[in-house]
Amino acid sequence: MNRISVIILGIFAVVIASLMGLVIVPNWQFEEMQPVEIISADGSKAVYPQKLDSWREAPGREVYRGLGCIYCHSQQVRPEGFGADIDRGWGSRRSVPRDYVFQSPPYLGTMRTGPDLANIGIRQPIEEWHLMHLFDPQITSPGSTMPSFKFLFETHEGSEPMTSIGIPAIQLPKAYTKKPTWIVPKKEAMDLVAYFLTLHQKFDLKDVK
């Protein structure tokens, strides 16, 4: 009996130790982290990072989660001298904990079947590009192995369809389809793109060494 209780004690001790070390203590370190006010060279002020709005951006993040984008795309820029992230133009600086203070949970990712998305909002700022890319990646990136997300769109052949305010109808390129075809994004697609456009780590932070 005695011996069993000693083993149980040891079993608990080791796992609680690692919980403290890897989770609780780092969490203390991040808890005080708040957004900072950034003054750019031209004198304009901005607070970074920003919370997502609840109209398009936050629901878009939920679409990102639900479709499992994380299984092919990371959202973290490796430091200079460690990989080629910055040289590839995936970011202008390494990612730091402060970039993620409002992200719950952060979608850091562990796989780059596709490129990193930490700065996709700057790298591809055009909404229409994203929508066509989601509809069929072969339109914008021939040879890509990203699946198409046609189920996020409705298609119309013929003349340009009427759409609700704020939702574009996009004509597909002639090289892609012979008949004139229009795609109308569903709400999920619009939300997702709105979320993409918020993804940037463009401000220099003092915590970057």
Partner 1 sequence: MNSEDNVSVTHPRTTDAQRRFEIDRSCREVVVFWYVSAVCWLLFGSLLAMIASIKMHTPGFLADAAWLTFGRVRPAHLNAMIYGWASMSGVGTLLWLMARLSKIKLPWREMLLIAGIYWNVFVAIGIWQILAGNGTSIEWLEFPWWISIALGAVFAILIVLAVKMLTTRREKHLYVSQWYLLGATIWFPFLYITATVLIHSPAAIGVAKGTTNWWFAHNVLGLWLTPIGLASAYYMIPKVIGRPIYSYALSILGFWTLALFYNWAGTHHLIGGPLPAWVITVGTVGSLMMFVPVITVAVNHHMTMVSHFKKLKFSPTLRFTVFGAMAYTVVSVQGSLTALRTVNLTGHFTHYTIAHAHLGVYAFYSMVAYGAMYYIMPRLIEREWYSSNLIKVHFWCTAVGITMYWVGLTWAGWFQGMMMNNPDIPFLDIVRYTIPFLWSRSIAGILMTIGHLAFAILVFRMVRRDGAWLVEPTLLRSIKNQQMEPAPRLEGADL
Residue 198 is a binding residue for partner 1 (CB under 8 A): no
Q: Which of 37, 42, 43, 110 binds partner 1 (CB under 8 A)?
A: 110
Q: Give residues 5-44 in contact with partner 1 (rule: CB under 8 A).
A: 7-8, 10-12, 14-15, 17-19, 21-23, 26-27, 29-31, 33
Nearest-5° Cα angle at 167, 161 to 172? 55
Residue 87 half-sphere exposure toward CB, CA atoms < 13 A: 5
Q: Which of 56, 59, 95, 189 binds partner 1 (CB under 8 A)?
A: 95
Residue 100 is a binding residue for partner 1 (CB under 8 A): yes
Which is nearer to partner 1, 3 or 45 (by Cβ)? Answer: 3
Tokens encoding 178: 């012979």
Part of the chain binding partner 1 (CB under 8 A), chosen from 36-44, 121-129, 148-156, 170-178: 148-156
Which is nearer to partner 1, 36 or 70 (by Cβ)? Answer: 70
Residues 172-201 as b/e (b if ≥16 CB within 10 A, e otherwise) read beeeeeeeebbbbbeebbbbbbbbbbbbbb
Residue with tokens 């690692």: 18
Contact 107, 76 (CB under 8 A): no
List the x/- string, 65-94, binding to partner 1 by CB under 8 A. xxxxxxxx-x-x-xx--xxx--xx-----x
Q: Residue 115 carries which DSSP code?
A: -
Peptide bond into 105 cis (omega under 30): yes
Part of the chain binding partner 1 (CB under 8 A), chosen from 40-48, 64-72, 160-168, 169-177: 64-72
Residue 143 is a binding residue for partner 1 (CB under 8 A): yes
Which is nearer to partner 1, 43 or 142 (by Cβ)? Answer: 142
Write the CB contacts of 180 (distance below 8 Å, at least 6 apart in sequence).
157, 158, 159, 171
Part of the chain binding partner 1 (CB under 8 A), chosen from 39-47, 52-60, 120-128, 149-157: 149-157
